[in-house]
Structure 1
Amino acid sequence: MTPQLDAVFREAAEQVWPLPHLPGAVSVVRRRARAVLAHWNLAPDLAEDALLVISELITNAVAHARPPAVLRLSRIVDGRTTLRIEVTDAGPAAAGGRPVVEPYPGECGRGLGIVTALATRCGTDVHAGGVTRWAELLAA
């Protein structure tokens, strides 16, 4: 990464990306998020937990909601570092409850439980634009 981009990532308190509505979106966005978390100098354990939460929230949006979807990462430093992860989508998939993108068999139903276990706080906000699922992780 160039020194100029390095400075942008280090100073930025927020990063926002649209999420491709494809099964491969999780790995693409996860790589991008890993770079941002590294440049924010987060503790390795916090960064790994954050990547897992990011993966679960993105998978949920891609598999169970309508596009468009957006990931927002926010770093809040006020004595301690808090990382806020938000994924906003256009709401539940079409009637019938079938996933928009078929998940891998046997790997369904645990994502939000994982998010709840790793997050200091988490929740869901329903609004006119759709649904935002969020989680906050606090540095140890």
Structure 2
Amino acid sequence: MTVTGACTPALAWPLTHRPEAAGEARQITKDALARWRVADDPADSVLLAVSELVTNAVEHAQPPLNLRLSHDLYTHQVHIEVSDGGPAATDGDWAASCTPDEHGRGLEIIDFLTTAHGDRLERGHAIHWADVYAAA
């Protein structure tokens, strides 16, 4: 997880558990990154990581769905957390309609974009987190 330095207060938002949640999360994140004055290139990496994590939650997990962001000014890391209600019994409409070669690259993308990522289970929900280096 993020090493704590001069960390901005974490910001959190509930998201609707539907396919449009990824776009909603990108806009929320874009606004937060602008407030934190994160440069365009690292901001793009953060936005893609958020999109992947939220899409995975919509497609493979139960509600509720929440996004939490913080920015560590010392380590230049943006910490992303997407929490959900745990694994769904079946995949969402998009994942269920795809052939195996049409999806499944999300973890590879997260591996490429992040300095660290993982999952943890807490009572009643799962949290998927990632840290993205966001210095200019």
- Residue aligning to 1:82: 77
- Residue aligning to 2:91: 99
Distance of 1:26 and 1:139 partners within structure 2 = 20
- Matching residue's letter, 1:69: L
The runs of 4+ residues in structure 1 deviating greater than 4 Å are: none
What is the aligned residue count? 126
- Residue aligning to 1:120: 115
1:19 aligns with 2:15: yes
Q: State the TM-score, normalizing by the size of structure 1.
A: 0.82
Find the partner of 1:40 among 28, 36, 39: 36
Query: 1:82-134 CA deviation, whole Å, 9 max, x = no partner?
Result: 1000101110002xxx2134347364211121111110011111221221110
Q: Which runs of 5+ in 1 are unaligned?
A: 1-10
1:55 aligns with 2:51: yes
1:129 aligns with 2:115: no
The structure showing larger relative contact order (alpha-carbon pairs under 8 Å, at least 6 residues apart) is 2
% identical equivalent positions:
41
Determine if contact 1:64/1:101 at 8 Å carries over to the other structure: no
The Cα shift of 1:12 comes to: 5.2
- Matching residue's letter, 1:105: C
Determine if contact 1:73/1:83 at 8 Å carries over to the other structure: yes
Q: State the TM-score, normalizing by the size of structure 2.
A: 0.84
SS in 2 for 1:67: coil
